[in-house]
């Protein structure tokens, strides 16, 4: 592909490309670019938000560039201050190692294992001695460090900023020096770190890398960035049904955001579809990626059955209760079976018409389960349970 087209293709969905002309110039040299993206294995569960950058890496890979998947096992111990309002706690080496493994497993669901260069920055940081660190620190100054929004804010508001956090961007920049990166990708919250990397490279007489940042994926609430702590995430290890359901619950507007950042689909074609169809296609694509096409198909069918036709799911969890135990009130039964955490909650749901027994809506909180035959209990829209007595 000619450089101009590549630039256009690669900027799709990107938050910022610094700069297009630099990228084009690098492409004109005709050699595969070294494209770096670092991931600090700080958490155990990855969610879709983490895959946005990987998705972009894949595009570089498809164009024949050398993708470097950098595991920040050294930087993970420092903790990236990006977007943090507090100094974050450090992790143990063991946790980091475990997380790194998960990251790789997930990364290769998107990237080609054979074509990707996997590195760890402990390779060089382990060997670095104090003098070298001091030397590295000499390449940057405090005033510029404090330009950074999250530092400035914390600093002026009397919060804590540790020197360790100052080191972080320097380390990330040094990674680029070692890896001789031509391009670096990151989330848009990484912009500062990436900019520092350019300076560090210059200080080491290297051509500064081109920076390509990706927008942060907005969570399922449609407001905040996807993050585990906000509870608005879709984990990529979640069961197919869950992933499918959560994607379907997105608003139409959000769906396009997901399309753009998580797939390579032709947006204009997708927009011509009926929104529901488009959403199903999106959900299938994502489930296929992290599970399989078969499971995606099954999840779609199930979904249509339960919600589209108000039917019952193919598989309903079953709970066996003792026949000897006195048959209690409905309230008791749904708490016992764990459908609902407390009796007050159960009564509330019943009063509000959210509980169905054998397709009959029950609104009397004193209702009793009188027969020991099987009963199908439905709570809310998606909680189904079959109760059997033995």
Enumerate binding residues for RNA (CB under 7 A): 157-160, 221-222, 244-253, 275-276, 279, 283, 303, 307-308, 331, 335, 341-345, 347-349, 351-354, 365, 379-383
Please say which residue, 236 or 250, places its beta carbon nearer to RNA: 250
How does DSSP classify residue 225?
B
- 25 half-sphere exposure, CB direction, 13 A CA radius: 10
Please say which residue, 125 or 151, places its beta carbon nearer to RNA: 151
Tokens of 212: 């390509």
Report in angstroms how near the CB of residue 71 gets to RNA at its nearest: 33
Please say which residue, 30 or 341, places its beta carbon nearer to RNA: 341
The whole-angstrom separation of Cα 186 and Cα 306 is: 39
Q: Are 255 and 284 in contact (CB under 8 A)?
A: no
Please say which residue, 135 or 317, places its beta carbon nearer to RNA: 317
Report in angstroms how near the CB of residue 206 gets to RNA at its nearest: 40
Please say which residue, 216 or 247, places its beta carbon nearer to RNA: 247
Q: Are 174 and 200 in contact (CB under 8 A)?
A: yes
Phi, psi of 329 (to 5 degrees): -75, 165
The whole-angstrom separation of Cα 77 and Cα 41 is: 9
């900023």: which residue's tokens?
A: 161
Tokens of 170: 């320097």
The per-residue DSSP string of 134-196 comes to: HHHHTTS-HHHHTTSHHHHHHHHTT----HHHHHHHHHHHHHHHHHT-SEEEEEGGGHHHHHH
CA 246 to each of CA 202, 250, 320: distance values in angstroms, whole numbers, following the listed order: 45, 7, 29
The whole-angstrom separation of Cα 370 and Cα 246 is: 37
Report in angstroms how near the CB of residue 366 gets to RNA at its nearest: 7
Strand partners, 387: 319, 375
Please say which residue, 12 or 271, places its beta carbon nearer to RNA: 271
Q: Within its chain, how far is the Cα of 325 from the centroid?
A: 46
Report in angstroms how near the CB of residue 367 gets to RNA at its nearest: 11
Report in angstroms how near the CB of residue 343 gets to RNA at its nearest: 3
Report in angstroms how near the CB of residue 166 gets to RNA at its nearest: 19
Please say which residue, 179 or 331, places its beta carbon nearer to RNA: 331
Report in angstroms how near the CB of residue 10 gets to RNA at its nearest: 30
Report in angstroms how near the CB of residue 285 gets to RNA at its nearest: 14
Please say which residue, 141 or 309, places its beta carbon nearer to RNA: 309
Angle of CA points 316, 279, 381, to nearest 5°: 30
In angstroms, what is the C-alpha Rg of the chain?
A: 26
Q: Within its chain, how far is the Cα of 112 from the centroid?
A: 19
Report in angstroms how near the CB of residue 288 gets to RNA at its nearest: 16
Please say which residue, 185 or 283, places its beta carbon nearer to RNA: 283
């Amino acid at each position: 592909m000619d450089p101009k087209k590549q630039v256009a293709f690669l900027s799709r969905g990107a938050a910022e490309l610094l700069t297009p002309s630099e990228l084009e110039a690098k492409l004109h040299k005709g050699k595969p670019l070294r494209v770096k993206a670092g991931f600090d294995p700080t958490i155990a569960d990855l969610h879709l938000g983490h895959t946005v950058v990987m998705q972009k890496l894949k595009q570089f890979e498809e164009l024949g560039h050398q993708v470097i998947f950098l595991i920040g096992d050294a930087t993970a111990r420092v903790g990236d201050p990006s977007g943090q309002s507090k100094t974050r706690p450090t992790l143990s080496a063991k946790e980091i190692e475990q997380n790194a493994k998960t990251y790789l497993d997930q990364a290769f669901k998107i990237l080609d294992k054979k074509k990707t260069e996997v590195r760890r920055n402990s390779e060089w940081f382990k060997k670095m001695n104090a003098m070298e660190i001091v030397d590295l620190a000499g390449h940057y100054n405090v005033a510029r460090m404090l330009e950074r929004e999250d530092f400035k804010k914390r600093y002026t508001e009397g919060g804590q900023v540790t020197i360790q956090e100052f080191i972080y961007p320097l380390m990330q920049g040094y990674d680029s020096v070692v890896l001789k990166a031509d391009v670096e990708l990151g989330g848009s919250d990484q912009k500062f770190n990436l900019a520092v990397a350019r300076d560090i490279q210059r200080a080491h007489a290297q051509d500064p890398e081109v920076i390509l940042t990706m927008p942060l994926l907005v969570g399922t609430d449609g407001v905040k960035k996807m993050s585990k702590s906000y509870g608005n995430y879709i984990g990529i290890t979640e069961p197919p049904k869950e992933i499918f359901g959560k994607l379907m619950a997105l608003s139409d507007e959000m769906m396009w955001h997901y399309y753009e950042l998580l797939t390579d689909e032709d947006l204009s074609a997708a927009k011509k579809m009926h929104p529901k169809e488009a959403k199903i296609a999106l959900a299938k694509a994502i489930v296929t990626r992290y599970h399989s096409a078969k499971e995606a198909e099954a999840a779609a069918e199930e979904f249509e059955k339960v919600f589209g036709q108000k039917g019952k799911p193919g598989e309903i969890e079953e709970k066996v209760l003792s026949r000897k135990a006195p048959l209690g009130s409905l309230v008791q039964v749904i708490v016992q079976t764990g459908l609902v955490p407390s009796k007050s909650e159960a009564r509330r749901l019943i009063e509000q018409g959210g509980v169905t027994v054998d397709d009959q809506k029950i609104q009397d909180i004193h209702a009793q389960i009188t027969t020991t035959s099987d009963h199908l209990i439905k709570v809310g829209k998606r909680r189904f349970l079959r109760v059997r007595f033995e």
